[in-house]
Amino acid sequence: MEKVDYIIVGAGYAGIFFAHQLIKEKKSFRIFYDEAVSASQISAGVCNPVILKRFNTFWKSQEQIDYLNIIFKEIESYTFRNYLIEENVVRIFHNDSEKVQWKKNSEKEGLSSYLNPDFINLQSVENPYGAGKVNRSCRIDVASFFNDMLNYLEHNQYLIKENFNHHLIDKASNTYNNIAFKNIVFCEGIASNNNPLFSDIPIQPNKGHCLKVKLHHTPDSYIIKKKHFLFNLQDNEYYYGGTYDRFDTTYQINDDSVEELRNGLQEICTSDFKIQDINVAFRATVADRRPVLGRHQQHHNFYIFNGLGARGVYNGSYFSKVLFDFIENEMNLEPEIDVKRFY
């Protein structure tokens, strides 16, 4: 029988960032990866500290930005690649009153370091009212990050490419098949609703569509946002997305969502574009918009790490350390994120 400190179930942002904490702290573990297309793998990877509807920020944004740089430096020390791309988000204004609001907010404490007060005019897309730049925003190279991390985990015998079957857990002996574990951390995204241990936690799927498009001209080197994010992937291939849909729970491509994306892109790009790829996945969201982490009510070595919502990179990276410190270092979980709020 193999003995490990941890089993991790799921290899999206939650599972991979938690695995990083274990690698760093030299814990033994196995991570289950079912090879399904996850929200994480189709995400834009944008790290944006501003809510672009209201020009506001969110709880712990400062801490999350600071920690992002730390964790990616740590990861780089063993994958030998930097995944942080220093491109800022720029928000195209819909009208003059948005500019006034941006300027006003840029003078507020907590927002002045994010909302750049000097407006810009983008050269390659329609922006008759100009655009505002979000300082300290960036994105990660999502494809390389998952490719490298999964390869690293496989190469070092951490990865099990299988669907984890909850019914095979023996709670009395703390074993799963031939693995004896101390703890299990469930990082399953929306599949957590099928986990008999955590199915009562209200994780709501929010379906997102995104596109890969070929553009014939080169937009400025920013992450451009009007209705959705647009940025360059390589050559003249661009990412555009994603949509939000709380009602459609099927995996099929929804024509209305694709039309929404096509219209959004047409609004800013006057020249032709060609859709190359349409991707669909579900964000795991929670009504109070806070991640969910912590310990199972009865089985104290079973944990959940979920509800990363639309901010998988910030929430996944920052709260992976919070969860590790809770389990290993007796640090408290703040009530806003503790799974206990649902018990």
Ligand X SMILES: Cc1cc2nc3c(=O)[nH]c(=O)nc-3n(C[C@H](O)[C@H](O)[C@H](O)COP(=O)(O)OP(=O)(O)OC[C@H]3O[C@@H](n4cnc5c(N)ncnc54)[C@H](O)[C@@H]3O)c2cc1C
User: What is the contact surface with ligand X in residues (CB under 6 A)?
Assistant: 9-15, 32-34, 36, 38-40, 42-46, 163-164, 187-189, 191, 208, 210, 241-242, 281, 283-284, 306, 308-314, 316
Q: Of 36, 72, 110, whose CA–CA distance to 316 is shortest?
A: 72
Q: Shortest gap between Cβ of 95 and ligand X (angstroms)?
A: 25
Closest to ligand X by CB, 101 or 301? 301
55: number of CA atoms within 13 Å, CB side?
A: 26
In whole angstroms, what is the distance from residue 292 CA to residue 341 CA?
9
Question: Considering beta carbons, is residue 9 or 125 the nearer one to ligand X?
Answer: 9
CB of 47 to ligand X, least distance (A): 6
Instruction: Quote the least distance from Cβ 103 to ligand X, whole Å.
Output: 26
Residues in Cβ contact with 285 at an 8 Å cutoff, skipping those fewer than 6 apart: 203, 204, 205, 206, 246, 307, 309, 310
CA 193 from centre of chain: 19
Nearer of residues 33 and 273 to ligand X, judged by Cβ: 33
Measured from the CB atom, the residue of 85 and 268 that comes closer to ligand X is 85
The pair of structure tokens assigned to 132 is 């505002």
H helix or E strand, kind and range, residue 104: helix 96-106
Instruction: Give me the least distance between CB of 229 and ligand X, in Å please.
Output: 6
Query: CA–CA separation, 209 vs 321, rounded Å?
Result: 30
DSSP classification of residue 23: H
Nearer to ligand X, 86 or 330 (CB): 86
Q: Least distance from C-beta 251 to ligand X, angstroms?
A: 12
Q: Measure CA 270 to chain center.
A: 30
